[in-house]
Amino acid sequence: MLYKLLLLAAVLLPIVCGVLVLFLKLKSEKVRNIFTFIVSVINLGLVIGALCTGYGESFVLYDTGFALRISFGIDGMSRFFGLIVSVLWPFSLLYAYEYMENEENKNSFFAFFMMTLGAVLGVSFSGDLFTMYIFYELITLFTFPLVMHERSKEAVSAGRKYLVYMLGGAGFALMGIIVILNISGTVTFTAGGFLSGVSSKYSGLIPVMFLIMFLGFGVKAAIMPFGKWLIHAAVAPTPVTALLHAVAVVKAGAFAVIRLIYYSFGADLLRGTYAQYAAMGFCILTILYGSYMAVRMPHIKKRLAYSTISNLSYVVFGACIMTPMGLYGSLSHFLVHALTKIALFFCIGAVMHITGKTLISEIGGYARRMKIIFSCFLVCSICLIGIPPFSGFISKYNLIEAAIEEGSVASYIGAGAIIISAILTAIYLMTVVVRAFFPENGKPSEDIEKAHDPGFKMNCPIVLFSCVIFILGLTWGHIEGFLKF
């Protein structure tokens, strides 16, 4: 009973908190900030409590009577995703408090920011496809106002595109849920897949439905050609962008694809089919496209957005290998990218917030006055490139090893794509570092006197994540059990 209460409270408390912030319209920023931060910390405690008391258990909250249920549970995947989300959220709030100091509509911003936490945890702890789909859609509804926060023409346009992409993908996913429910009679997550024992008469339909649902859920994971929404969404405030790219939306998409492969259809049912190779093909094209476009993009924030498009497909590609090693490689990069990309966005957000500069050509010599920010950016860049002993090297090595072990032509091409992408990653990140530390012709950019490191609230998460990224690579053996289940 305690486990159920803790789990439900972890999902519902942030949503209730957000509703209160939205409708009470607190005038004191200090009160609102303390309230939301305390709720996020309590929520972390609730998640840890639920994991300690009910790991491996599930329960039905509501039965519709039509083979569709609202159910929750904790297994290896939900433990993995739920902990990442719960740990990163309080630090994201801390960063946002300083970043949003001079912004308008802060109550609505923090209200939807908190609601999104509840929706993401709902996705994490869902016990079946239908429940996950409900919270998956709530993520869209709660993040839509955040994308449009600035209310500018560009922000409104980005919000509309975001909604169209998200609802379109959700429509494909829902269609697939309805069909496979009629095939199997259940959509409850099962290790090995609840479709693994269905009649052979559906063998022609199953690969088709997998591809439809893969592309539907893949919209949030920014699989091309459905990933352009992520570039347009860069107009949102940096705390939102960081969550979109590192924790909430794109990671929920990747998480949903993993659930689809290993807990719904079953890797054994899909392995070797044209559906597997088609999915891997989408991932390979996205890996290369995202990296190539990042090299060409002069806008710093959008460059990181294209980087996310590429790196999320590392995660999905690993899942599509459909072997235990492939899943391990996928989750390895899932964790590394979450920590690294949120820190990178926080670094660039600090530069944009303090100096107003958005182009790489404008930050020449800024590292001289923003030593903490660009030192951390350098550390995170080295990690994402995949240089030993950083954890980025380990996660990419795991993916390449899994691809070679699987042995198909598609896997070998995917391994090659990851290597090419790593080279391109070095180009698009180190050019930023070189420009910041070594300005062109030795002359710093104009207005360099405006540049300085941000305050404690923004610096704390950046420095902490950068340290964790480095330590993670040195202590990787201690967390393998967390990633292998």
For 117-136, the pLDDT digits (tens) are 999 999 999 999 999 999 99
Tokens of 329: 């490689």
Q: How far apart are the first and last CA of the chain?
A: 25
Alpha-carbon gap, residue 334 to 320, rounded angstroms = 14
Q: What is the band of 253 on the pLDDT scale with cuts at 50, 70, 90? A: very high
CA angle in degrees (0–180, nearest 5) for 390-391-395? 135
Give residue 199's pLDDT.
60
* Amino acid letter for position 101: E
Give residue 399's pLDDT.
97
* 91: in domain: no
* 237: in domain: no
Give residue 425's pLDDT.
97
Instruction: Tell me which H or E stretch contains 165.
Output: helix 153-184
Residue ranges making up the domain that contains 378: 298-485
Give residue 482's pLDDT.
80
Q: Is the pLDDT of residue 6 over 90?
A: yes
For 43-79, the pLDDT digits (tens) are 999 999 999 887 878 888 888 777 788 999 999 999 9
From residue 139, give the alpha-carbon distance in Å to each of 6, 132, 351, 474: 21, 11, 28, 35
Helix (H, G, I), strand (E, B) or coil at 385: helix
Phi and psi at 100, nearest 5°, equal -95, 10
Average pLDDT, the chain: 91
Q: DSSP assignment of 316-377, as one string?
A: HHHHHH-SHHHHHHHHHHHHHHHHHHHHHHHHHHHHHHHH---BGGG-TTGGGT-HHHHHHH
Q: Tell me which of 12-21, 54-63, 187-196, 300-309 is least confident.
A: 54-63
Give residue 450's pLDDT.
82
Helix (H, G, I), strand (E, B) or coil at 188: strand
Alpha-carbon gap, residue 419 to 443, rounded angstroms = 35
| Paired residues of 58 in beta bridges | 73
Give residue 29's pLDDT.
87
* 455: in domain: yes
* 148: in domain: no
From residue 94, give the alpha-carbon distance in Å to each of 98, 121, 200, 239, 246: 7, 19, 53, 10, 16
- Our CA dihedral for 391, 394, 400, 405, rounded to 10 degrees, sits at -140
Q: What is the mean pLDDT of residues 359-381?
A: 92
Tokens of 383: 């990690």
CA angle in degrees (0–180, nearest 5) for 183-258-473? 165
* 210: in domain: no
Q: What is the mean pLDDT of residues 81-103?
A: 92
* 222: in domain: no
Contact 219, 226 (CB under 8 A): yes
Q: Tell me which of 207-216, 225-234, 251-260 is least confident.
A: 225-234
Contact 147, 233 (CB under 8 A): yes
Tell me, what DSSP letter sits at residue 265? I
Tokens of 134: 């409900």
CA angle in degrees (0–180, nearest 5) for 62-66-70? 25
Q: What is the band of 446 on the pLDDT scale with cuts at 50, 70, 90? A: confident
For 174-220, the pLDDT digits (tens) are 999 999 998 888 889 999 888 877 767 777 889 999 999 999 999 99
Give residue 444's pLDDT.
75
* Amino acid letter for position 217: F
Alpha-carbon gap, residue 442 to 241, rounded angstroms = 32
Q: What is the band of 479 on the pLDDT scale with cuts at 50, 70, 90? A: confident
Q: Is the pLDDT of residue 241 over 90?
A: no
* 321: in domain: yes
Q: What is the mean pLDDT of residues 439-466?
A: 85
Tokens of 239: 């705390």
Q: What count of other Cβ atoms lies within 10 Å of the Cβ of residue 41?
A: 14
Tokens of 406: 């699987």
Give residue 439's pLDDT.
82
Q: Which residues contact 158 (CB under 8 A, 6 or more apart)?
A: 147, 148, 229, 232, 233, 234, 235, 236
Phi and psi at 296, nearest 5°, equal -85, -20
Helix (H, G, I), strand (E, B) or coil at 390: coil
Tokens of 112: 């939807």
* 431: in domain: yes
Contact 230, 194 (CB under 8 A): no
Q: Does the reported pTM lie above 0.85?
A: yes
Tell me, what DSSP letter sits at residue 187? -
Q: Which residues contact 133 (CB under 8 A, 6 or more apart)?
A: 170, 173, 174, 177
What count of Cα atoms within 13 Å lies in the side-chain half-sphere of residue 14? 32
Q: How many distinct helices (H) and strands (E) make up the chain? A: 19, 2
Tokens of 88: 């990163």
More confident of the two residues 230 and 481? 230
| Domain tally, the chain | 1
Percent of the chain with pLDDT strictly greater than 70: 99
Q: Tell me which of 22-36, 346-360, 383-397 is least confident.
A: 22-36
Q: What is the mean pLDDT of residues 435-463?
A: 85
Q: Please tell me whether the peptide bond between 324 and the residue prior to it is cis, using omega within 30 degrees of 0.
A: no
Q: Is the pLDDT of residue 289 over 80?
A: yes
Percent of the chain with pLDDT strictly greater than 90: 68
Alpha-carbon gap, residue 415 to 66, rounded angstroms = 44
Tokens of 241: 């962008």
For 316-351, the pLDDT digits (tens) are 999 999 999 999 999 999 999 999 999 999 999 999
Give residue 312's pLDDT.
94
Angle between helices 324-355 and 249-259 (to 10 degrees): 170
